Amino acid sequence: MILSYCRHNHSHPDAKAPALEVRDLTAGYAGEERPALKGINLSVPMGASVALVGANGAGKSTLFKAVSGLLPLRCGTVRVFGHHLGECHQRVVYLPQRSEIDWQFPISVLELVLTGRYVYAGWFLRTGRNDERLALEALAQLDAADLAGRQISKLSGGQQQRVLIARALAQNADLLLLDEPLNAVDANTRHTIAQVLDAIKKQGKTVIMATHYFDSQDKRYDGAIYLKDGEQVTDTGSRAGHEGCDHP
Amino acid sequence: MMHFLTDPFHYIFIQRAVAAAVVVGILCACLGTFVVLRRMSLVGHALSHSALPGLVIAYLLGFNILGAAAVATVLAALLIGFLAKDEAVYEDTSIGMIPTVMFALGILLISAGKSYRDLSAMLFGNILGVTAADLNLIMLIAGVSLLALALFYKELKLLCVDPDYAKTIGVPVDLLRYGLLLFLALTVVAGIQAVGTVLTNALLVVPVAAARLLTDRLGVMMLLSCAFAVLAALAGVFASFYLGLSSGASIVLACALIFGGAWLVRKTK
């Protein structure tokens, strides 16, 4: 019997609900009175590929953190596949720009990618052979199968990014929140990651990718969400949606 | 040579000391692995100092010494965890503050109680003085702590390597942090009789640090740490028996020698 990490035992997605629905979201960091995000309203349909556009400090990473449960909401609601935040842990994966991973920790690449399967094992159970197979397949998709046995402390920046995306694939999430995954990686890695992202989109998964620049002709995206100074704006930079908490 | 090693075992207090040394060594090494890898090396130091008020109260009121130390260290561990949860209070600030306050409370109690009893065994350890009741408590703490480590090994590993990811998949990371602190507090209590409150942290950290120099595989690191900690603890028992030296100091210096050896091996590789 699997003892899930959350009490909801991982609800299945509601087929009619959007992949992500955010209503009147305000969120901020502890110790800071001013919210980092204010009055965010958005709805991303299942299978869409959306760019989250904004300059540094616009609130892109903060929005991802709020949606993935790393940052408590001050007000508003976040629903993922029709369920409240925290009911669909295995279906959402957040790939941060600057991960808090301890790259000196003494484990191999395969072991790190296998942590993407922990959400399915839950408490007390170890990951099995099937999990290992899926982790190796994910690494192969990123052209990183040869890294499986290598210690994570021996990876370059580009290899680290490949391994983290492989873990996201191993988790088999349906909503991927990617924080500038093509930033600060070499051309080969960028090409491989772009191919993998195309494949993910073809599988019908929903991808929201944070980026500084957005070209409306870019076929990778079905649309864009714009953020500026923690608020939602239109593509021309004017404010969108309504702000503030109904229940501060 | 064999007589040198086997003769002491004719004494029941030596049998108890060796059993305590082996159990405390294994416990400290296993828990110490997570302590070192989570960069919490100073926490063990902090918690061991926090035991002082518990020890003094137990002396003054005639309670069980290790039980009182357990209450004091667990209280300190919970306070450290509680304060560190607030992002405005850095974890190292919390670690630096709580034990100093606890130590000050211990000193205040000593002066207020006008107790002149010798606390050196508690401060610096006396492994040859382990009683049957002490050994039972050490075994109980080790059994529960090692079982918890085995059950939550996968989650603890993830907590060390990527706490944010752990949180996003629903692992209750705060609860795990508290749990780790709780078992660390109990381990410190188990180590007090062997190496004393002041030196317990060395048994938690130094064997693991030595093993870390020799391997980059977690499982091997844990096994090596256990071997080093048990070896050092046994060295302390024999040094104390044959030479009348302080067991705590002997154990810590044996750990340091092992670390020095590991460092040389790494440098000559």
3-state helix/strand/coil string of A96-152 = CCCCCCCCCCCCEHHHHHHHHHHHHHCECCCCCHHHHHHHHHHHHHCCCHHHCCCEH
- Say whether A30 and B160 touch across the interface (CB within 8 A): no
Q: What is the pLDDT of residue A157?
A: 87
> What mean pLDDT do residues B125-151 have?
91
Q: Is the Cβ–Cβ distance between B159 and B176 less than 8 Å?
A: yes
Q: What is the ipTM of this complex?
A: 0.89
What is the per-residue pLDDT for A248?
Answer: 39
Q: How many CB pairs under 8 A join A and B?
A: 84
**Could you give the percent of chain B with pLDDT greater than 90?**
39
Q: What is the mean pLDDT of chain B?
A: 87
Interval B98-114: pLDDT, tens: 888 988 888 888 778 76
For the ranges B46-55, B151-160, B233-242, the maximum mean pLDDT occurs at B151-160
Strands (DSSP E) found in B139-236: none
pLDDT reading at A246 higher than 70: no
Mean pLDDT along residues A34-57: 91
Whether residue A240 is predicted with pLDDT greater than 50 in this model: the reply is: yes
- Please, which pLDDT band fits residue B71 given cuts at 50, 70 and 90? confident
Q: How confident is the model at residue A153 (pLDDT cuts 50, 70, 90)?
A: very high
Tens-digit pLDDT profile for residues A73-82: 999 999 988 8
Of B37, B171, B218, which has the smallest distance from its Cβ to A5's Cβ? B171
List the single residue in A29, A30, A112 with the smallest CB-CB distance to B161.
Answer: A112
Burial of B10 (0-12, 13-18, 19+ CB in 10 A): exposed
Nearest Cα of chain B lies from the Cα of A88 at a distance, in angstroms, of: 9
Domains (range + CATH), chain B: 2-264 (1.10.3470.10)
CB contact at 8 A, A172 and A134? yes
User: Looking at residue B119, what is its pLDDT?
Assistant: 67
| Complete domains list, chain A, with CATH | 20-233 (3.40.50.300)
The owner of tokens 């780790």 is B180
Distance from CA of A118 to the nearest CA of B (A): 8
For residue B145, the distance in angstroms to the closest alpha carbon of chain A comes to: 15
With contacts defined as CB-CB under 8 Å, which chain A residues touch B155? 118, 123
Q: Which of A69, A107, A119 sits opposite B161 (nearest CB)?
A: A107
- Closest-CA distance of chain A to residue B160, Å: 7
In chain A, what is the straight-line distance between the N-terminal and C-terminal CA atoms, in Å?
A: 42
Task: Give the model confidence (pLDDT) of B13-35 as tens digits.
Answer: 999 989 998 999 999 999 999 99
For A113, name the nearest residue in chain B, comparing CA atoms only. B158
Going by pLDDT thresholds of 50, 70 and 90, the confidence category of residue A237 is: low
Q: Is the pLDDT of residue A55 over 70?
A: yes
pLDDT of residue A244: 47
Mean model confidence pLDDT for chain A: 86
Q: Which residues in A lie closer than 8 A to residue B221 (C-beta atoms)?
A: 106
Query: Which chain B residues are closer than 8 Å to A151 by Cβ?
Result: 216-217
| Chain B neighbors of A27, CB-CB under 8 A | none
Handedness of CA B209, B210, B216, B221 (dihedral sign): negative
pLDDT digits 0-9 by tens, B168-186? 998 999 899 889 888 888 8
For residue B221, the model assigns a pLDDT of 95
Work out the minimum CA distance from B40 to partner chain A, whole angstroms: 14
Nearest CA in chain A to B165: A94
